[in-house]
């Protein structure tokens, strides 16, 4: 497919030095994905001095498929992969992948639960055990994602958010991590998807064969853990390059870590601010959300410049109840789908399916969705929609009772839950090119910006 022609600053990014580490940050719709493809094609172009085998890598499966589609026709030495697929492939080449030795997420949760139960018996009455299993699972992912291998490193760690874990709880959490690993090993699993990067790095350290990749380009880098990024930096040859594209406003995992903690050595960070995707009216909502109280401060956030594309104001539909929300969302989806692509984006697959049941629609995880996809209704979650775009987006269930979700509040507490859900909502909103419809019943979620005139507010 034809990629848009790079303009101005975008062009510079394609031709950044072909050696060392490069970081490009940009807000939503500024062309990071497109430029990651141009950059990867440039680096893998045969017959030139800097050329070499290149990996274009991201975290979400649907986006990897989309990248693959856009990179079609590129030189044969360009691979497009999810991080998981890269890690699996490398460890397989080292003889470490035997059968199903990566634990699946449901089994992992059950093992974490067992570990919590066993460790809680040694600490009767400790308040840490009032927390939900999701919170523990997330904390264990954070520890491994940071690459901590010794308890002392975890005890000393500084956090940007989620700092309020009482000092006396951390050793207990470490005990749970160790017990979980024992249980996992007993069940015959060597890894989970979070700690696989630790082994990739260990293996690379002992691997004196020539590196398979000379260049690695990372899209949506904010969603890879620091240890995953470090492993990618270790995987390129010394005369090669790592180029990191990311947007910290869209960081949807609990890592909340900057690229700076990933060991990338960068002289100058390139920044993209011009939004090529959203209409002005949609970009205004996204901007109001990202400058609201839930995003926090970070020097990694890039202030976007509002685009000039015309389009109607996003519609906020206040419904009597969830049934009416479903009815309205379906009706609007059907109407808009005759003109272009429409995504129904829910927080969970269950929410999305509630709206789309019986409606002719496609699950974006099961197809190869691309920018030239035919008109129709597409189903997605906030997470799976990462990196994609649609003419219209419908986001149901944005009432205060459902957003932030009770599960997020119970697991992470008010502040952290709001920050997480605000970023998810930001991702969903910025997928829309020209039409955005948000439905809710009861009061609308506090996460949505309340400035007047941002929305056309309607009641069915």
Ligand X SMILES: Nc1ncnc2c1ncn2[C@@H]1O[C@H](COP(=O)(O)OP(=O)(O)OP(=O)(O)O)[C@@H](O)[C@H]1O
Q: Are residues 261 and 230 in contact, defined by beta-carbon separation less than 8 angstroms?
A: no
Does residue 311 bind ligand X (CB under 6 A)? no
What part of residues 322-351 is at the interface with ligand X (CB under 6 A)? none
Q: Measured between alpha carbons, how far is 307 from 106 in angstroms, rounded to an integer? A: 42
What torsion do the CA atoms of 338, 60, 22, 256 make, to the nearest 10 degrees?
110
Binding residue per annotation — 30? Answer: yes
Indicate the residue among 54 and 290 with the shorter CB distance to ligand X: 290
Closer to ligand X by CB, 54 or 203: give it: 54
Nearest by Cα to 212 from 24, 36, 15, 57: 57
Which of 389, 416, 421, 435 forms a contact with ligand X (CB under 6 A)?
A: 389
27 is in an annotated binding site: yes
d(CA 50, CA 75): 14
Q: Collect all residues with Cβ–Cβ distance below 8 Å to 17 and sequence separation of at least 6.
A: 241
| Per-residue burial over 39-78, b = 16 or more CB atoms within 10 Å of its CB, e = otherwise | bbbbbbbeeeebbbbbbbbbbbebbbbbbbbbbeebbebb
User: Interface with ligand X includes 423 (CB under 6 A)?
Assistant: no
Nearer to ligand X, 9 or 211 (CB): 9
Each residue 18-47 as x (binds ligand X by CB under 6 A) or -, in order, gives --------x-xxxxxxx-------------
| Strands of the sheet with 341-346, listed across from one edge | 362-363, 376-381, 341-346, 390-395, 432-441, 315-319, 456-458
Is 28 annotated in a binding site? The answer is yes
CA angle 107, 367, 348 (to 5 degrees): 45
Closest to ligand X by CB, 247 vs 325, is 247
Among 247, 270, 322, 435, binds ligand X (CB under 6 A): 247
Q: Please identify, using beta-carbon distances, which residue of 341 and 441 lies nearer to ligand X.
A: 341
Cβ proximity to ligand X: between 356 and 432 the closer is 432
Binds ligand X (CB under 6 A): choice among 387, 396, 399, 404? 387
3-state helix, strand, coil in the chain (%, to 5): 40, 20, 40
**What is the smallest separation between the CB atom of 38 and ligand X, expressed in angstroms?**
10
DSSP 96: -
What are the backbone dihedrals phi and psi of residue 431, each rounded to the nearest 5 degrees, phi first? Answer: -80, -15
C-alpha dist (Å) from residue 326 to 42, 103, 119, 380:
46, 36, 44, 15
Please give the Cα distance from 72 to 53 (Å, whole number): 16
- CB nearer to ligand X: give 128 or 373: 373
Query: Could you tell me the smallest distance in angstroms from the CB atom of residue 352 to ligand X?
Result: 19
Torsional class of 413: left (φ above 0), alpha (ψ -120 to 50), beta (otherwise): left
Determine, following the binding rule CB under 6 A, whether residue 58 of this chain makes contact with ligand X: no
Rounded-to-integer distance, Cα 25 and Cα 27, Å: 7
- Find the binding residues for ligand X in span 250-289 (CB under 6 A): 250, 276-277
Smallest distance, ligand X to C-beta of residue 420, A: 18
Specify the residue, 22 or 144, whose C-beta has the smaller distance to ligand X.
22
Q: Which stretch binds ligand X (CB under 6 A): 3-11, 117-125, 149-157, 446-454?
A: 3-11
Closest separation between CB of residue 81 and ligand X, Å? Answer: 18
Site size with ligand X, rule: CB under 6 A: 21
CA dist., res. 20 & res. 285, Å (int): 37
Out of 54, 411, 430, 434, the only residue in the binding site for ligand X (CB under 6 A) is 430
> Interhelix angle for 133-146 vs 105-120, to 10°?
100
Enumerate residues 345-384 that contact ligand X by CB under 6 A.
371
Residue 176 burial (10 A CB sphere; 0-12, 13-18, 19+): buried
CB of 289 to ligand X, least distance (A): 13
Q: Is 82 annotated as a binding residue?
A: no
261 is in an annotated binding site: no
Pick out residues in 107-166 that bind ligand X (CB under 6 A): none
Q: Which one among 10, 54, 243, 290 touches ligand X, defined by CB under 6 A? A: 10
Which C-beta is closer to ligand X: that of 277 or that of 284?
277
**Which is nearer to ligand X, 39 or 181 (by Cβ)?**
39
Q: Single out the segment in contact with ligand X by CB under 6 A; choices: 1-9, 99-107, 167-175, 179-187.
A: 1-9
Binding site for ligand X (CB under 6 A): 4-7, 10, 26, 28-34, 247, 250, 276-277, 371, 387, 389, 430
Binding site feature residues: 26-33
Binding site feature residues for ATP: 26-33
């Amino acid at each position: 497919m034809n990629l848009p022609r790079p303009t101005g600053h975008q062009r510079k990014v394609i031709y950044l030095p072909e050696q060392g580490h490069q970081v490009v940050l940009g807000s939503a719709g500024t062309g990071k994905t497109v430029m990651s493809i141009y950059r990867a094609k440039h680096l893998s172009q045969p017959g030139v001095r800097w050329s070499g085998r290149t990996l274009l890598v991201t975290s979400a499966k649907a986006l990897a498929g989309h990248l693959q589609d856009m990179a079609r026709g590129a030189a044969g030495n360009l691979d497009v992969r999810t991080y998981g697929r890269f890690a699996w492939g490398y460890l397989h080449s080292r003889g470490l992948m035997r059968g199903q030795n990566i634990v699946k997420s449901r089994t992992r949760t059950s093992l974490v639960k067992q570990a919590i139960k066993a460790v809680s018996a040694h600490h009767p009455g400790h308040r840490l055990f009032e927390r939900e299993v999701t919170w523990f699972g997330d904390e264990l992912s954070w520890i491994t994602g940071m690459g901590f291998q010794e308890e002392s490193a975890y005890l000393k760690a500084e956090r940007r958010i989620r700092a309020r874990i009482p000092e006396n709880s951390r050793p207990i959490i470490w005990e749970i991590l160790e017990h979980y690993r024992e249980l996992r090993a007993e069940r015959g699993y060597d890894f989970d998807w979070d700690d696989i990067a630790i082994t990739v790095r260990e293996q690379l350290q002992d691997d004196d064969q020539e590196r398979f990749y000379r260049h690695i380009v990372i899209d949506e880098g904010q969603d890879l853990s620091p240890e995953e990024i470090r492993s990618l930096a270790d995987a390129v040859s010394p005369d090669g390059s790592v180029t990191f594209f990311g947007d910290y406003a869209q960081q949807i995992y609990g890592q909340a870590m900057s690229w700076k903690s990933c060991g990338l050595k960068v002289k100058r960070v390139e920044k993209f601010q011009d939004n090529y995707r959203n209409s002005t009216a949609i970009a205004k909502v996204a901007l109001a959300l990202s400058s609201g109280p839930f995003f926090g401060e970070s020097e990694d956030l890039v202030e976007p410049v509002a685009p000039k594309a015309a389009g109607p104001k996003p519609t906020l539909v206040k419904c009597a109840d969830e049934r009416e929300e479903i009815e309205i969302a379906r009706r609007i989806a059907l109407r808009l789908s005759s003109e272009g692509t429409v995504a129904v984006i829910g927080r969970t697959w269950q929410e999305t399916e509630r709206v789309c049941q019986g409606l002719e629609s496609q699950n974006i995880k099961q197809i190869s969705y691309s920018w030239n996809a035919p008109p129709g209704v597409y189903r997605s979650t906030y997470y799976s929609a990462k990196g994609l775009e649609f003419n219209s987006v419908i986001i149901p269930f944005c009432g205060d009772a459902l957003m932030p979700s009770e599960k997020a509040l119970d697991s992470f507490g008010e502040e952290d839950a709001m920050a997480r859900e605000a970023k998810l909502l930001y991702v969903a909103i910025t997928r829309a090119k020209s039409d955005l419809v948000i439905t809710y019943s009861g009061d609308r979620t506090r996460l949505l910006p309340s400035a007047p005139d941002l929305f056309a507010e309607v009641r069915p």
